[in-house]
Amino acid sequence: MEYSTFGRHVAMDAWGVDFDQLNDLNHLESHLRKAAQACGATVLSVQAEKFDPQGVTVLVMLSESHLSIHTYPEKGFAALDCYTCGTTVDPQVAIDYMMDILKPARAYSKVLRRGVGPIEIMETESNVNEEQAIKAII
């Protein structure tokens, strides 16, 4: 069997998310599993870590690639990432599922097309200028 190298990669920065939600490892792990299921992906394993004094990282290894979240509860920030190979699984569905759970005040994403030549930006959503983004980080 020959496999396609084509893939889509969604990177989402979410701001203004509730501290407790971003610091709850079990909550995030459970919902990342559900997000993977919602987009039709096959979960192979999950690795999750809670940091001291706060913050969570969850990595869901998929047969089709990966889904992850890294949180900074003290800043109300989460970085989500989903990459899937082939055309049968849509990573945007997983990210949208997580946005419905996290309910960020602001979210910014890029969708990349990979595996067919140079990496290409398929979509860009940006509702904030660079200066505002830097102020939000500080």
Residue of 9, 31, 85, 109 with catalytic role? 85
Can 65 be counted among the known catalytic residues?
Answer: yes
Sign of CA dihedral 39, 101, 16, 78: negative
Among residues 68, 9, 8, the alpha carbon closest in space to that of 33 is found at 68
Q: How far apart are CA 13 and CA 77, in angstroms?
A: 7
Catalytic residue among 70, 82, 109, 126: 70
- Which residue in the list 39, 65, 82, 109 is annotated as catalytic? 65
85 is catalytic: yes
Calpha distance 22→16 (Å, rounded) = 10
Positions marked active-site: 65, 70, 85
